[in-house]
Amino acid sequence: MAVIAYIGLGANLGEREAQIRAGLAALGRVPGVRVLDVSSLRETAPVGGPPQPPYLNGVARLETALSAPALLGVCQQLERDAGRVAGGPRNGPRPLDLDLLLYGDERIDTADLIVPHPRLHERPFVLEPLRELGVEPAALPRPARPLVVADPEEFAALNTGWLHGRCRTGLVPTMGALHEGHASLLRIARQTCDRVAATIFVNPLQFGPKEDFARYPRTLERDLALLAREGADAVFVPETSAMYPGGFVSRIAVGREAEGMEGAARPDHFSGVATVVAKLFALARPTHAFFGRKDAQQVAVLRRMTRDLGFPIGLVECPTVREADGLALSSRNVYLSPEDRRAAPVLYRALRAAHAAHAAGERRAEALLAVARGHLAQEPRARLEYLELRREGDLAPLAPGPVTFARLLVVARFAADGPHPVRLLDNLSLGAPLDA
């Protein structure tokens, strides 16, 4: 019943050693806790946080029959008893710091507590005292980050653990070939959530028979490096057969939001998108999911699916990330020839021109469209596929009358007569600040 636990000890305010010793003594008087051994205490430079005095650090070995949450609660209380104030700066100075480093062999992953401590392997002031107590840190489990999961059941179980741990969990569904647009989704997810999971799956259901499913860029190694850099906790990389087992039939119907624009150009595309995202939602049960607003109609379709099926998930539409010349980032930009790449920013220039006209007071839909069309017509490499003004939010057709607030969406084709045309999408809100 009792387990061996290791607690990191620290203080950099007041009588540092006395506070650490008093905290340990009080810990040893708690029912179900016995302090077995304490490393030497050493002086250490602070890690992060504001300018502050050096720390005294060490590690204690305990035997405890308390549950990990109970032990954590008691340690937090001892920190408060030593005069620590809740809500101080992150990594700020403190009279006593008690971190649960190890709790038997258990792995704990909750909003309040991760064990083994996630920074353990980076911190000499923890590693050295652990060695002094006979623990070889190299032998401890070192969770990969991101954790790469291919099995749907394993991904569901990981997310169940996070739910049990009261984590807000952000899901970032992608088809891989990650770029700075995805990095931005991951950063926004990290700000909102305790855990972030990306998914990488080139979803055959959303590609038409003549589309670029086979040719879609697949860059897993680079994707994993970007996910690691952005602090993703996990990435789900399933095989197609795991997502769509034999006999798969449960496609999800889509409606008005999927009509016109991309829905007209790509039959069944949005039903494929809604189906795969519903499956990811069903599996992972995140609290939030993050999508780029470049794919504006996709966001409208997914909002409908999410509301219809009642998933209690907040959909977060994130701003489009652009190259310096205004081209919206897209995994398909790599297909562009150098000449087309130079021509491609015409889409954003056209949208910006309409935005400027609107800001200057133009409210007639046809006039706004004509401004954008005029720019697009100047670029012969871009073959306009559609240019539409739609209602904000659900992207329904705009009611007649003055345009006060609307989304302008454009798609043009480059290399349109070659074997591999490249469709580029972009959109902009008129009546809102740029990139809002």
Non-local CB neighbours of 116 within 8 Å, separated by 6+ positions: 101, 102, 107, 140, 141, 143
Beta bridge partners, 426, equal 410
Query: Rounded to an integer, what distance in angstroms lies between the CA atom of residue 234 and that of residue 283?
Result: 14
Q: Which of residues 283-322 bind a second copy (CB under 8 A)?
A: 283, 285, 304-305, 307-312
Non-local CB neighbours of 21 within 8 Å, separated by 6+ positions: none
CB 137 within 8 A of CB 121: yes
CB of 194 to a second copy, least distance (A): 12
Binding flags for a second copy, 252-281, as an x/- string (CB under 8 A): xxxxx-----------------x---xxxx
CB of 11 to a second copy, least distance (A): 17
**Residue among 274 and 424 whose Cβ is closer to a second copy:** 274
* Per-residue three-class SS string for 68-86: HHHHHHHHHHHHHHCCCCC
CB of 149 to a second copy, least distance (A): 13
**Residue in 295, 347, 336, 303 with CA at minimum distance from that of residue 181:** 295
Query: Rounded to an integer, what distance in angstroms lies between the CA atom of residue 152 and that of residue 284?
Result: 9
CB of 305 to a second copy, least distance (A): 5
Query: Rounded to an integer, what distance in angstroms lies between the CA atom of residue 189 and that of residue 196?
Result: 6
CB of 96 to a second copy, least distance (A): 12
Q: Which of residues 361-420 bind a second copy (CB under 8 A)?
A: none
Q: Which of residues 6-65 bind a second copy (CB under 8 A)?
A: 26, 29-32, 65
Beta bridge partners, 44, equal 55
Written as one letter, the residue type at 313 is: I
Q: Is 73 in the site for a second copy (CB under 8 A)?
A: yes
CB of 283 to a second copy, least distance (A): 4
The DSSP secondary-structure symbol of 107 reads: -
Q: Which of 67, 91, 240, 337 binds a second copy (CB under 8 A)?
A: 67
**Residue among 47 and 282 whose Cβ is closer to a second copy:** 282
CB of 253 to a second copy, least distance (A): 5
Residue 1's Cβ-count burial label (10 Å; 0-12, 13-18, 19+) is exposed
CB of 304 to a second copy, least distance (A): 7
**Residue among 275 and 330 whose Cβ is closer to a second copy:** 275
Q: Which of 70, 108, 133, 370 binds a second copy (CB under 8 A)?
A: 70
**Residue among 289 and 327 whose Cβ is closer to a second copy:** 289
Query: Rounded to an integer, what distance in angstroms lies between the CA atom of residue 398 and that of residue 405?
Result: 10
**Residue among 245 and 433 whose Cβ is closer to a second copy:** 245
Q: Which of residues 76-95 bind a second copy (CB under 8 A)?
A: 76-78, 80-81, 86
**Residue among 10 and 152 whose Cβ is closer to a second copy:** 152
Query: Rounded to an integer, what distance in angstroms lies between the CA atom of residue 335 and that of residue 306?
Result: 32
Q: Which of residues 119-158 bind a second copy (CB under 8 A)?
A: 152-153, 156-157
Q: Which of 14, 28, 54, 69 binds a second copy (CB under 8 A)?
A: 69
Beta strands in 82-150, from DSSP E residues, in sequence order: 97-103, 108-109, 114-115, 147-149
Residues in the chain: 436
CB of 361 to a second copy, least distance (A): 34
Strand order, beta sheet including 406-414: 383-390, 406-414, 422-430
- Terminal CA-CA length for the chain: 55
The one catalytic residue among 117, 182, 269, 358 = 182
Give the residue carrying structure tokens 């353990």: 120
**Residue in 236, 169, 224 with CA at minimum distance from that of residue 199:** 236
**Residue among 278 and 318 whose Cβ is closer to a second copy:** 278
**Residue among 77 and 219 whose Cβ is closer to a second copy:** 77
The DSSP secondary-structure symbol of 285 reads: -
3-state SS class at 347 = helix
**Residue among 150 and 434 whose Cβ is closer to a second copy:** 150
Choose one: 125-133, 159-167, 222-230, 289-297; the region binding a second copy (CB under 8 A): 159-167
Query: Rounded to an integer, what distance in angstroms lies between the CA atom of residue 425 and that of residue 413?
Result: 9
Binding flags for a second copy, 217-256, as an x/- string (CB under 8 A): --------------------------xxx-xxxxxxxxxx
355 as an active site residue: the answer is: no
Residues that bind a second copy (CB under 8 A): 1, 26, 29-32, 65-67, 69-74, 76-78, 80-81, 86, 152-153, 156-157, 160, 163-164, 166, 243-245, 247-256, 274, 278-283, 285, 304-305, 307-312
Catalytic sites, residue numbers: 182
